[in-house]
Structure 1
């Protein structure tokens, strides 16, 4: 089969690789109809995530048709159309029973390695390094899905791929980020980053009834898309973020802040961003934390910081004194996709939201390596790329 494979920093290749096979009676094989490039894939592309190996198949947003099932698979049959969550879940461990699916205790095949890094391993993830299990990703013609009875979302044939594909990651990620804010009708919700996840944070905060939603970025196409979804845009290249937020909240600060950027945040003229880039280049710091620092500074006392943006390791200069003295709550985590998916399918089917709004480019899988560069460089108005195997 054909797949997109990682071979080092800024090196994704379209290659022929062996077809996946049933390895466990609980497996299924999916014939991929659509997949996507995610913002967190760029962390692999830039080689900020450890434990990648040359030839690893990347990608964790994908869907398709079931073409083969193992002998112990009971809920799926050949021909079923499914979206596959990026988190692999057994459905039986203590965390899965609690609905904490991204913390599944059984699906990470490299649990001992992850335990050393994180204290306790999270779930296995598709196409996202050997630290998360070393599973082949979904930017491919076919994918093996472990624990297939639990690791799938069955979708109606009345909805297109473009409407449901993002149920596997960015839609529930934006939704969880907003839900974690405990949004009240009087709240101002501010979202740092207007990439694909930020776009779904905007629409989720609007659906959940925030009084006003603000988004911060410097890419005009992204800001326009967020504004069309109900957000007030702030271009940090053209105006003061702090001054504008003071104005919008009458000097009180926003109640709820969402970091939809993660470890690669950078504002060129900001001294702390320069500091982070230097330390990161010298391998003295893993992640860049400008957004975290700014959220802690501007958030109203007693407010909530929600962090869907991906972080990989250590960050410096976090203002813990401000965080503690302002009594801020921090909520984070990889997305518990299956906790939200049934409700989100219903909302799509009811017409409350059409997730296809975020797609700006749809190309063949063969064009994937080129589109990684287009997406990374934000060229041609690129916000979200869908790939067709």
Structure 2
């Protein structure tokens, strides 16, 4: 008896998703609660578990289809796995094939006939050069990952069933590629493609990318955006991190980074300038006596913004642990819907990618976002002398309907003072 597999509940206000990838093919053995498919929603990827143990049956929905909650997408058959169609086909015609080969052995093709080719040779000829036979079996999510990270599929070793390339294989290859770029070597100019071909490929936007595009455009259309800049001397924070990072990691089990300092400093500044932590609701202003800090995290499918709840009540160690957990689960695609809802203020760290300066866009309905950038040595004047200091540009983008320029500057100065003298964070000054 077949058991239907339905789309699970995806969270509040989410009624549909896109079928990103089938993790199990018809005929595969599945265990109860084993993931058989991956769904892409507006915010995260969700795995669909098998309701029972048995054999994977029919795929009712295909990769790339939009499916609604409670819709049937597959069936699970009771019993052991059946042989795959590819394996079963030769067994049915084995005898006839042998006889046919014996009859034609030693003779060439008749008039008007084409020489017979082995199926595997034909497939190899049809596959694009440099990609191998497996290229035709790449799932949409794997293709997207290959395009996003610029990975040559011919260089990726597949770890999936029958050697298929998975999304994780592509991400691992991309990471190895980025490490190799650390010591760049001169590369010759790429040779023009045969016949001067110029190719295009259309890839459907993921549901997450569509949502990001819509929300950012809505923010530009509805808010009066303005960005104010300042810079901060990172000398004191770098010295503190260098001095205590080993003891910190030994005691708390997590590395001491810069984000812990900036989150705590931002919480102090938000308390001093509550408008930056507020939001507009109709013709009312909603103030918050807590700081739920949204932290922008890069994930394979796009930017996600999980929320550190009550960050103002946390220690630096608790903040670092939370951010580390978010980063790991963002790469694994296991963040939950509830973890990305709410938030009263956002911090986006473009410095990890080398950004010198930017004008970040607010995350509605929030009214402000803080952009952090790369640290670089620059000449500055201290006590009448020119010295070299590790400096970082700070950017605060805000909704000018709610936050005035004076409040934005006051916020940045308070943040700057806390970072340049981390003792202020300790004594809450």
| TM-score using structure 1 length | 0.25
Which protein, 1 or 2, shows the higher relative CO under an 8 Å CA cutoff with sep ≥ 6?
1
Task: Point out the structure with max Rg over C-alpha.
Answer: 2
| TM-score using structure 2 length | 0.23
Please identify which structure carries the higher helix content. 2
